[in-house]
Chain A
Amino acid sequence: MDPAVERLKTGFEKFKTEVYDQKPDLFEPLKAHQSPKYMVFACADSRVCPSVTLGLEPGEAFTVRNIAAMVPCYCKNKHTGVGSAIEYAVCALKVEFIVVIGHSRCGGIKALLNLKDGADDTFHFVEDWVRIGYPARKKVKDECSEMPFEEQCGVLEKEAVNVSLQNLSTYPFVKEAVANGTLKLVGGHYDFVSGKFDTWAL
């Protein structure tokens, strides 16, 4: 077996013996259904799995991971991947919190900040995706132009979370649930360079 795959086998067997078999009270009800309290948006970056950093147990968080943890604006005909996840989480699972978590040294945010107006994209799809955060990029370029690039990235990592939180509110079912008080939107930022985790609410 490929050593990389062999490692997964070892990892799974460890999960089974040390976690699954040890917690029947947790896993038994999960066989029938899930009722997570959280929906989490996190980056696909290999260093920032929210289950690890927040110690999320199976059943706790319906988790979407994509480049830079972005949430696009509501549009009926586009971004059905994200739309379906939010729709399922809010309407079917009735989660109580949606948490959008950015992080340090995010490649997606760096790509967003590096966008050159009028220039060709380096990739075909990546820049198109991170442009969701364009309002945040504009704000950082306008208001933090004196900062070095890396510091601008740090600010943009959080501003992009705010754009995603605002975009979440454009989904009718999210807006309704927030207005009813049954759903709250929270922003987060994980800095793995200095070991910090910030949270905030818009």
Chain B
Amino acid sequence: MPETPTTPSGAYPSTPHGPQSPPARLPVPPPRAAPLRRRPRPEPRHRVGECDSPVSPFPGLPRFRFADSWLFLGVRQIGDSTARGVTLRAAGSGRSDFSCATKASEDHSGLTRQLLDFQHDTVDETDGGYDPFSQLKERFTDFKQRNYVENFTNYQKLAEQQTPEFMVVACADSRVCPTSILGLQPGDAFTVRNVANLVPPYEHGASETTAALEFAVNSLQVPNVLVVGHSRCGGIQALMSMKSKKDDRSSRTFIRDWVSLGKSARLSTEAAAGNLSFESQCRHCEKESINSSLLNLLTYPWIEERVKEGNLNLHGGYYNFIDCTFEKWTLVYRPGLEGGSKYAIKNRSTWS
């Protein structure tokens, strides 16, 4: 990491921010259908950082500035950023509490739904600023009504325990959520997401991915691990762009240190596709890196053991969002095989 706390430059693939076309905006939710009661405007809201909210859900604990629960209390202002002169407020709240308490655990057959004390004023957003949290609140309400209520029995079962079929390792990229792409339902997949969906080798030591692998395989006993890579991966691009500056401390960044875990994938890419364009090499490396991660999985003793016993399958997946295809394959591990490679690929197919 740079010694001074400045923003590192030149360390990232050029991800244009402020693109030519504006970022996709969340759609404006429809106006509320149900009439809501009003109540007098309460005292002015506290600014962020003041800790004397009148009611703390955690008596005896130092009080934090709690914004209200969605569906329980109204969303108060979050992020009063006076430095920017912007006050972010949820439309329709920000002044009082409103409770939309759907106590599913009390009566789920019809779901008790109480709309109390909702101040329906539309707050003037003095700068016309965008409030993502009111949008997210609407989204959660939509999820609650459309998904949670309909699947309430399933959620109550899941509340007791999870028994996922998969552990998924996917990239943190906003475009490649594996739940969305693969239609995973709650309870299906214990999912880790990190930069470039990398699995470090066992000798790397402690990491969040390592801890998750240990829990998923040893405690949850998932029968499948799926490593999912994707097209246009910024982390892989960073790996392929790295100049070899082993001893140059000033070029160290977290990103550089982390994506270096994929260096064997870079080496095999350069060997196999070094004559191709940089973009093609990145494409190649995205897939090589998945295989490198699959092989790294086998460096974990408890994983190798379960794979050998036939109790755990290791799969690779590659999501290409340019043409919307998903390629998947399964690693075959034959440690006792005489002559020839211990590793092979089977069941490769492309879904489109």
Least CB separation from B75: chain A residue: A199
Residue contact A93 to B7, C-beta cutoff 8 Å: no
Chain A positions within 8 Å of B84 at CB level: 181-182
Instruction: Give CA–CA (A23, B177) in the complex, Å.
Output: 16
Known contacts: A11-B184, A33-B15, A37-B23. The answer to whether A81 contacts B195 by CB under 8 A is: yes
Chain B positions within 8 Å of A57 at CB level: 24, 26
A interface residue count range (under 10 / 10 to 19 / 20 to 34 / 35 or more): 35 or more
With beta carbons under 8 angstroms apart, the residue of B15, B183, B193 that contacts A63 is B193
Chain A positions within 8 Å of B64 at CB level: 162, 200, 202
A119-156 CB contact bits vs B (8 Å, 1 = yes)? 00001111011100000000100011000000000010
Chain B positions within 8 Å of A180 at CB level: 83
Interchain Cβ contacts under 8 Å between A and B, 16 examples? A14-B183, A29-B21, A31-B322, A47-B186, A62-B173, A67-B212, A91-B7, A96-B132, A125-B211, A143-B61, A181-B83, A192-B158, A195-B71, A198-B66, A199-B70, A199-B78
Least CB separation from A87: chain B residue: B254
Of residues 73 to 103 in B, which have CB atoms within 8 Å of A's CB atoms?
A: 75, 78-79, 81-84, 86, 102-103
Residue contact A15 to B181, C-beta cutoff 8 Å: yes
With beta carbons under 8 angstroms apart, the residue of B148, B234, B257 that contacts A92 is B234
Known contacts: A46-B189, A64-B193. The answer to whether A105 contacts B211 by CB under 8 A is: no
Known contacts: A15-B183, A27-B321, A84-B255. The answer to whether A56 contacts B177 by CB under 8 A is: yes
Known contacts: A34-B175, A139-B61. The answer to whether A125 contacts B328 by CB under 8 A is: no
Chain A positions within 8 Å of B226 at CB level: 8
Residue contact B60 to A143, C-beta cutoff 8 Å: yes
Q: Which of B133-141, B275-283, B287-295, B335-343 contacts A (4 or more CB under 8 A)?
A: B133-141
Known contacts: A45-B190, A47-B187, A199-B69. The answer to whether A82 contacts B79 by CB under 8 A is: no
A-side residues, CB < 8 A to B, are: 1-2, 4-5, 7-16, 19-21, 25-27, 29-38, 44-49, 51-67, 70, 76, 79-89, 91-94, 96-97, 104-105, 107-108, 123-126, 128-130, 139, 143-144, 155, 158-159, 162, 172-173, 175-176, 179-182, 184, 186, 192-202
User: Is the C-beta of B271 less than 8 angstroms from some C-beta in chain A?
Assistant: no
Least CB separation from B187: chain A residue: A46
Instruction: Give CA–CA (A121, B191) in the complex, Å.
Output: 23
B207 to chain A, nearest CB (A): 5
Instruction: Give CA–CA (A96, B165) in the complex, Å.
Output: 35
Known contacts: A44-B192, A47-B158, A64-B194. The answer to whether A11 contacts B254 by CB under 8 A is: no
* Among A59, A84, A124: residue with most chain B CB under 10 A: A84
Instruction: Give CA–CA (A46, B68) in the complex, Å.
Output: 26
Chain B positions within 8 Å of A29 at CB level: 19, 21, 24
Residue contact A11 to B183, C-beta cutoff 8 Å: yes
Residue contact A34 to B174, C-beta cutoff 8 Å: yes
B177 to chain A, nearest CB (A): 4
The 4 closest A-B pairs by CB, nearest first: A11-B183, A172-B5, A181-B83, A55-B139
Chain A positions within 8 Å of B224 at CB level: 2, 4-5
Of residues 1 to 56 in B, which have CB atoms within 8 Å of A's CB atoms?
A: 1, 5-8, 11-13, 15-19, 21, 23-24, 26, 48-49
Known contacts: A62-B172, A155-B61, A181-B83. The answer to whether A11 contacts B15 by CB under 8 A is: no
Residue contact A37 to B132, C-beta cutoff 8 Å: yes
Least CB separation from B249: chain A residue: A76
Chain B positions within 8 Å of A54 at CB level: 136, 139-140, 143
Known contacts: A4-B224, A12-B182, A19-B180. The answer to whether A87 contacts B255 by CB under 8 A is: yes
B231 to chain A, nearest CB (A): 8
Other contacts beyond A5-B224, A123-B218, A184-B79: 15, CB < 8 A: A4-B165, A8-B317, A15-B182, A15-B183, A33-B15, A34-B174, A46-B191, A55-B143, A58-B321, A63-B193, A64-B194, A88-B172, A88-B234, A144-B61, A181-B84
